[in-house]
Structure 1
Amino acid sequence: MRWFGFGFNAFGQICAQDESVQEESVDTVKVIHPSELRCHVDSSSCRLKTSRISASWSRRASLHLAGVSCVCLAGFGSCVCTESRGCTDASISESHLTLVFLDRVESWDLQKKEETPAWRMDIKPQSESLGDVTLPLVPGGYLVSKPPFYHTLSPHLKAKSLALGAEHALLLSASGAIYSWGLGSHGQLGHSNLLSEEEPRAVEALWGMPMSSVAAGGWHSICISNGGDLYVWGWNESGQLGLPSRCLRKAPLQKSSQKAGELCPATSSHEELQEEEKHEVFISIQAFPALLDVTPPCEIRAVSCGSRHTAAVTIKGDLYTWGWGEYGQLGHQTLTSADEPQRVEFFTAEQMHVVDVVCGTWNTFAAVVKEEEGRSQ
């Protein structure tokens, strides 16, 4: 399995600055062409064939599970974490690196050079307590990126997975129900209002429809049903929900009206713009879950959210992205944003089958295999 990245690269979290510079005009902050990730383990360059990715704004953590597992950091303060030998999962933030081992969980302060973790918790063997769950879930609760690290969860929730946004949380229970809590100012909790919740509350609009996966962006939320359908809610200012966004649609309408005005001076471009906008239903905030149609119709297997963009993988191995794209994080080799899911053609052209996707704040990382390997999965 190989990993590719695109989008924000100011700290070299996708590719090292000297590797990406081929001519003076190249913008190394924005990687608009999907680039294969490389790291340095034991001082030798290697491809990330067996790993998981976790990304924050300025860093990327790659977990290598082949042989003696370890974590390799890229971006601000990049290095190979010798303290990570033997870890089974990892999560990176701007201030801390959290590692899970078979018998403990540790959070290391990345801003301090200390020989001991900033926080530690002993756990039972993973086979007895964690099962197949991954960070931020830990036995009895979940971890956040800054102190206090540990938060308890009620045992009756029976959490299967958890996603943390900028200021809200989404929990997927073993029964397929979705619970949300935290800030609700942008409708990201899905309770049909803009109120915040201190405790987990079921998203009633999805009750009775079992979900298989959840993802949280900065101020938006996504989940996948057992049938592979996408449900979206929250903030849509940059088209991150895949719903019509006034901010993205207004500029093309203005340009179109200006051209029409040049051809026919008697026509009022302002009036045409207003007339065209009357036929559009723009959505800034979607306060309850809405079914998102992906064209052509396809079944979704994985989804991830950045701050204001979204990426989804289909069971056929295609990658679709939408939302804010000014750093190239949509993978369409442009800096344009989109309020409709669009397939990333690079992987199709290269006969690559996308199997997973992880969004950083302003970038995207995709795991791929050869097309024939994807068909056998």
Structure 2
Amino acid sequence: MVACGEYHTCAVTLSGDLYTWGDGSLNCGLLGHGSEASHWIPKRVGGPLDGLQVSFVSCGPWHTALLASPGRLFTFGDGTFGALGHGSRSNTSIPREVEALKGVQTLRVACGAWHTAAVVEVTSGSPNSGRSSQSLAGNLFTWGDGEKGRLGHGDNNSRLVPECIASLADTSFTRVACGNDFTVALTSSGQVYAMGSSVSDGKFPTRVKGDIKDSCVEDIACGSHHVVVLTSKAEVYTWARVQTGNSAMVTMLTEACPHLSNSSKINK
């Protein structure tokens, strides 16, 4: 799999190695090699990942999160607002395991601009159960910059370590995705929840209804300011926050209801 940030790219090989390349000169450890050197061809990330198999990676503009078997969460890059989850705002130039989630299995992770979200199987048995992460569900944890309610905790406060969203503690999630200042998550029953500047008051998670109210959503993805979902009927729905105006005055418009995209049937 491949993921891209603002100035860097990450790729996971079939054998579970992580490679990164891009601009490493931004003084935040963006490439995970322990230095500020740029690499214009892929270079394997070693150190703490030696001997581990990486199964998933997500990039924000300035930081990276990855899952290494069995469900261990590592982050590196810019720690501004606590987006790395290590209890501080410090940068980390090599992958570092998120201590707050040690002993539990992280199933999915997503990076926003200055925040991170993860689906965590907090009540699982052995993490070596052999089950696919796509078939598992867990609680939703968020951390980092809390402005505009993007973390879903009911306030705008930053979190320096992962914190479970209390209002969704009884809901099981399978996927999560992040935009610049919002978060969306998919439940095991195919419903989508959103939190952040693009929904209602943004502070508490809100179930997305509209045209997908009666649909079973199977996958979700985010750009910086838009969301795309795929339903069990192979239909694609989108919604976005649109910026209009000029340099003197900018108006942000929120498209509250998902719309079926033209020619949206996907051949599975």
> Shorter-chain TM-score: which interval?
0.5 to 0.7
Aligned to 2:4: 164
Aligned to 1:31: none
2:72–2:102 contact (8 Å) kept in structure 1: no
Equivalent residue runs for 1:45-60 within 5 Å: none
Structure 1, residues 118-176: CA drift from partner, whole Å, max 9, x if none? xxxxxxxxxxxxxxxxxxxxxxxxxxxxxxxxxxxxxxxxxxx0111111111011000
Partner Cα distance (2:102, 2:86) in 1: 16
> Of residues 15, 37, 55 in structure 2, which corresponds to 1:195?
37
Partner Cα distance (1:296, 1:169) in 2: 26
Aligned residue for 2:167, secondary structure, equals: helix
Tell me the percent identity: 34
Q: CA RMSD in A?
A: 1.6
Which structure 2 segments of 5+ residues have no match?
A: 122-136, 191-268
Equivalent residue runs for 1:273-352 within 5 Å: 284-295=90-101, 297-315=103-121, 316-348=137-169, 351-352=170-171
1:231–1:292 contact (8 Å) kept in structure 2: yes
Aligned to 2:242: none
Structure 1, residues 248-289: CA drift from partner, whole Å, max 9, x if none? xxxxxxxxxxxxxxxxxxxxxxxxxxxxxxxxxxxx221111
Partner Cα distance (2:81, 2:9) in 1: 21
**Structure 1 position 303, deviation (Å):** 0.4
Comparing both chains, which one has the higher relative contact order based on Cα–Cα distances under 8 Å and sequence gaps of 6 or more?
Answer: 1
Structure 1, residues 225-251: CA drift from partner, whole Å, max 9, x if none? 1110111111102100012325xxxxx
Partner Cα distance (2:188, 2:45) in 1: 35
**Structure 1 position 352, deviation (Å):** 1.6
Runs of at least 4 residues of structure 1 off by over 3 A?
A: none
Structure 1, residues 27-57: CA drift from partner, whole Å, max 9, x if none? xxxxxxxxxxxxxxxxxxxxxxxxxxxxxxx
Aligned residue for 1:346, secondary structure, equals: helix
Partner Cα distance (1:243, 1:352) in 2: 26
Q: Does 1:354 align with 2:196?
A: no
Q: Which amino acid is 1:358 matched to?
A: A
Change (3 A) 1:215 1:370: same
> Of residues 9, 13, 17 in structure 2, which corresponds to 1:177?
17
Q: Which amino acid is 2:184 matched to?
A: F
1:352–1:370 contact (8 Å) kept in structure 2: no
Aligned residue for 1:330, secondary structure, equals: coil
> Of residues 60, 66, 72 in structure 2, which corresponds to 1:217?
60
**Structure 1 position 207, deviation (Å):** 2.9
Partner Cα distance (1:167, 1:352) in 2: 35
1:233–1:288 contact (8 Å) kept in structure 2: yes
Partner Cα distance (2:54, 2:94) in 1: 15
Partner Cα distance (2:50, 2:88) in 1: 28
Aligned residue for 2:51, secondary structure, equals: coil
More moved, 315-324 vs 355-364:
315-324
Equivalent residue runs for 1:1-377 within 5 Å: 161-184=1-24, 185=26, 186-205=28-47, 206-245=49-88, 284-295=90-101, 297-315=103-121, 316-348=137-169, 351-370=170-189
Change (3 A) 1:296 1:370: farther
Q: Which amino acid is 1:168 matched to?
A: H
Partner Cα distance (2:38, 2:181) in 1: 25
TM-score by length of structure 2 reads: 0.61
**Structure 1 position 319, deviation (Å):** 0.7
Change (3 A) 1:290 1:331: same
2:86–2:99 contact (8 Å) kept in structure 1: no
1:167–1:182 contact (8 Å) kept in structure 2: yes
